[in-house]
């Protein structure tokens, strides 16, 4: 039974953001760390993996783990080349979902996007029937997800669905590292850090398309509502 945990989703190889979050995590009693997918596709994937592995983090596989291991296209191929065979093997073994028991919440289900898909889009604006269908079948009262890089906390038919946000590539209308802490309750967090220094540091990695990748998230953050509307459009809603 776990009392406290840090839930970190969508790091995307943003090492400065992860380092900032882990400093915040170290300031509090934290028994467990869950990395909820999309650790990969970013400039410092191996370094982020090493930091979390050394802390005995529990890893989930997101859609970008699948795509990076496939290595199709310039960006995904570059990201795959940055990973040793040992890391690739570890990533390939990560599960798509995880269940943990917490003292304060009971059983919590963790998935990357939804329990049935690593790329299904659910947002704060998604209609209740969409959320109900996407999250069905777990039997859990609490489901934690990510994928859309936006925090939210909503309840549909008695099931609480929480998006932990994105540590490395948020679409929140402001820069920072966004994550979730579980203690006696569930608290959505934002950890500030020097994003300009981080961008400069990440540019040195040689990652293709880096400026375009982080522009609307960290350099010139687009409004949260605009990002939400785009995700809903992508979902055909």
pLDDT at 79: 98
> Mapped to the 3 state alphabet, what secondary structure does the chain carry?
CECCEEEECCCCCCHHHHHHHHHHHHCCCCCEEEECCCCCCCCCHHHHHHHHHCCCCEECCCHHHHHHHHCCCHHHHHHHHCCCHHHHHHHHHCCCEEEEEECCCEEEEEECCECCECCCCCCCCCCHHHHHHHCCCCCCCEEEECCCCCCEEEEECCEEEEECCCCCCCCCCCCCEEEEEECCCEEEEEECCCHHHHHHHHHCCCCCCHHHHHHHHHHCCCCHHHHHHHHHHHCCC
Q: What is the CATH number of the domain that holds 114?
A: 3.60.21.10
pLDDT at 37: 97
pLDDT at 120: 98
Determine the Cα–Cα distance for residues 26 and 104; give it in Å rounded to an integer: 21
Domains: count for the chain: 1
- For 134, the domain range is 5-234
pLDDT in tens, the chain (237 residues): 999 999 999 999 999 999 999 999 999 999 999 999 999 999 999 999 999 999 999 999 999 999 999 999 999 999 999 999 999 999 999 999 999 999 989 999 999 999 999 999 999 999 999 999 999 999 999 999 999 999 999 999 999 999 999 999 999 999 999 999 999 899 999 999 999 999 999 999 999 999 999 999 999 999 999 999 999 999 999
Handedness of CA 11, 15, 16, 19 (dihedral sign): positive
Determine the Cα–Cα distance for residues 206 and 74; give it in Å rounded to an integer: 12
Q: pTM of the prediction?
A: 0.97
């Amino acid at each position: 039974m776990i009392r406290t945990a840090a839930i970190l989703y969508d790091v995307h190889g943003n090492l400065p953001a992860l380092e900032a979050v882990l400093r915040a995590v170290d300031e509090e009693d934290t028994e467990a760390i869950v990395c909820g997918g999309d650790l990969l596709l970013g400039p410092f994937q191996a370094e982020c993996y090493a930091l979390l592995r050394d802390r005995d983090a529990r890893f989930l596989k997101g859609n970008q783990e699948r795509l990076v291991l496939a290595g199709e296209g310039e960006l995904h191929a570059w990201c795959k080349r940055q990973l040793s065979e040992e890391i690739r093997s570890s990533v390939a073994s990560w599960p798509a979902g995880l269940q943990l028991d917490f003292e304060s919440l009971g059983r919590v289900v963790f998935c990357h996007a939804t329990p049935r898909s690593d790329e299904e889009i659910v947002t704060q604006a998604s209609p209740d029937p969409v959320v109900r269908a996407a999250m069905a079948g777990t039997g859990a009262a609490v489901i934690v997800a990510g994928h859309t890089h936006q925090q939210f906390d909503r309840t549909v038919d008695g099931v609480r669905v929480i998006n932990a946000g994105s540590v490395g590539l948020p679409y929140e209308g402001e820069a920072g590292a966004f994550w979730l802490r579980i203690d006696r309750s569930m608290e959505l967090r934002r950890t500030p850090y020097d994003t300009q220094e981080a961008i400069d540091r990440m540019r040195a990695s040689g990652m293709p398309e880096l400026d375009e990748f982080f522009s609307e998230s960290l350099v010139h953050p687009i409004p949260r509502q605009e990002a939400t509307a785009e995700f809903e459009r992508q979902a055909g809603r």
